[in-house]
Chains A and B, each alone.
Chain A
Amino acid sequence: MTTQNNSLYAAREPIFPKRVYGTFRNLKWAIMAVTLGIYYLVPWLRWDRGLNLPDQAVLIDLANRRFYFFWIEIWPHEFYFVAGLLIMAGLGLFLFTSALGRVWCGYTCPQTVWTDLFILVERWIEGDRNARIRLHRATWTPRKATLRLFKWTVWALIGVATAGAWVFYFADAPTLANQFLTLTAPAVAWTTVAILTATTVVLGGFMREQVCIYMCPWPRIQGAMMDDSTLTVAYRDWRGEPRGKARDATAGDCVDCNACVAVCPMGIDIRDGQQMECITCALCIDACDDIMGKLGRDRGLIDYLALSDAPAEQAGKKPRPIWTHILRPRTILYSIIWAAFGFAMMYALFIRPEIELTVAPVRNPTFVILSDGSIRNAYEIRLRNKHGEPRQFGIHVTGDLALRIELEGTPYESVEVAPDATHRLRVYVTTPPGGEIAQTDESPIRFWIEDLGNGERAFVNTVFNGTGAQQ
């Protein structure tokens, strides 16, 4: 990244990460397979919710304002579940970052995973590092053009697949797939696919490490989450320096083979110390371990290492065991808060009723005097039926024997609420003239609803407005 001239702007220096073999690379392949698998396959999972509801296991139904997640269905007024999940995601990141540094960046961030995938394609088409450098420097020949075109085409296909999978989370996947194939998909689906295809190819194919270094806010936040007990990828300089030939007995373990630099997707040299650019992908560990293995030296010249261990190790002592880095008051506290949110949400989820009502007393006017002098209050009631089939709801009111309830538009004291719907209803409560409740400003009353099918009940407290004492 260093430029010796005085320009304020510098062109991106292309990076050609070399293929690497080893534990962490395998772990990353596995994580890539799992995360991409989840991303591409989840919209196709089915979940039977009965006749009237979608059978897609995970679906964000924007038009009907519902979020389906297997057996859980979230209504807009339950958005706090989503907020809670975001808080848990945030706390989870704090936890992992304070224990293991930028593991999110190194293993699971979509930017990392897709860049890895794009580099895989690149290597498959254009060859490994040296071949790619040569191709990059070569003048444009038909061969270079063919290779580039082929690579870009495959990238574009991956982009389309990525964007395509995204929209399936927002509509019934088989239907939408069919609409795409028959060119009848809605315009918004095509636009979303076009935009996401472009961003996928640009970010994963061309921008890569630039996203992490210049665009993503997370590296800055992570800096604040790490401390010197955090395990990060580091170079044991006391063991490696001075660098020298393998035969040189006075030199350290680092043979200056540049393997760690060649594999780094961020284009940095970890031996310069911890750097903002390092996403702790651990590929340099694999690269260096490989070299050390060939030389018959101990692995771990580059390793997961906490800053606080460096002095002890330099003094020849053994490093503290890994679990003492992971189980610290800080990480335990994060875990507790995280779990508390999780349990609170689970609890809220399980006590969540299948039927609900909200009651808004009409305050304009607060009461009406009827021709026989009775006092009547009106209430706007919303009944929610979260079941997949229509339900009959009985409504009644408690508080005073003199209160009589009527529902607008029906002589009955029950209404049918459509499946998975909210029913709005005007309800009247009347009391005869002269009674105590008629002459009180406000009397507490309670609305009950009862699911006449299974007897489930719910209530809401509100007030009945009388004329007050003056009349």
Chain B
Amino acid sequence: MDEPRIDQLTGRPTMGHEFDGIEELNTPMPRWWLWTFYLTIIWGIGYTIAYPAWPMVSGATAGLLGYSTRGEVIADIADHEASNAALVTELNAADLAAFDPQSDLHRYAVARGASVFRAQCSQCHGSGAAGAVGYPNLLDNDWLWGGTLEEVAYSVRHGIRNETDGDARYSQMPAFGDMLESSEIEALVAFVPTLADADWDSAGAVLYADNCASCHGERGLGDRSMGAPNLADAIWLYGGDSASLTETISNARFGVMPAWGQRLSEEDVRAVSTYVHSLGGGE
């Protein structure tokens, strides 16, 4: 390496290195820049002491300030809940039978209920509440147990056919496979889908009147007081084709839903019911 020298043309000192005849002039950086650089290093070290930073065998150094992103989220949630406390009180006191769908409280309940639904209900009823075979579609206007906000809230609170809640909705259809001949079941399977516009002289009609009408009603319109489905409408929970109907009549079906009143807070039960009620089927 050559010694630094004074460049004749500019009168400036060179850095003292040279490549292929090219030399670099020494143009000093400002000293404050250097100090700023040192400061950022000191700041960086301080930062890693104050905040979680250095990876250890398991986890990382905790940092003197005790900060954690998890803690921040917890604090955020606490803030959020504190700011919603008044609405929650109001929601718990609201009369569901006369819940004004244009009110701010209703909007809050729907928003809160949507998140409860996604976390607790979507596993069976689907994230869009469209249900699946055996899990009712909550968007349509067909309700097994009633579609007013209070009825929906009752179903959510106590559940369906569960063992844990004495007030659970309960209905039980006999398994007709043990009671009827297979030819009779076949006749019923042929008759039931025609209920809306039925031939009341057919063999199926007689079998229907004897075995089914007591619960599902003379005209097959169902009975919400005992959760008997409407058989004359376009909606089939377990499918309306012959194979599904044969299976349903022979063995009966028993869907189960937990009693959410035991698992969710009162406000969450009310919120999720309001949400479901606001999806288009609410009565």
Contact = CB atoms under 8 A, between A and B. Distances in A.
Interface residues of A, number: 31
Interface string A357-376: 00000101100111111001
Contacts of B233: 371-373
A141 interface: no
Say whether chain B's binding surface is mostly helix, strand, loop, or mixed.
Answer: loop
B33 A371 contact: no
B234 A8 contact: no
B106 A6 contact: no
Given A10-B30, A371-B235, A409 B106 contact: yes
A369 B140 contact: yes
B202 interface: no
A370 B101 contact: no
Nearest to B34: A9
A34 B102 CA distance: 51
Interface residues of B, number: 32
A12 interface: yes
Interface in A1-32: 2-12
A410 B103 CA distance: 12
Contacts of B234: 369-373, 433
Contacts of B4: 6
B26 A8 contact: yes
A376 B142 CA distance: 13
Contact of B280 (A3, A11, A373, A378): A378
A95 B18 CA distance: 41
Contact of B139 (A5, A8, A365, A410): A365
Contacts of B140: 368-371, 376
B33 A410 contact: no
A408 B101 contact: yes
A409 B280 CA distance: 9
Contacts of A2: 11-12
B101 A410 contact: yes
Given A369-B234, A369-B235, A364 B130 contact: yes
Interface string A394-423: 000000000000001110000000000000
A9 B30 contact: yes
11 contacts: A2-B11, A4-B13, A6-B26, A8-B26, A9-B28, A10-B30, A12-B30, A364-B126, A368-B137, A370-B235, A376-B139
Given A12-B31, A410-B101, 5 more contacts: A10-B30, A10-B31, A210-B30, A408-B280, A428-B280
Closest 4 CB pairs of A and B: A409-B101, A364-B128, A371-B233, A373-B234
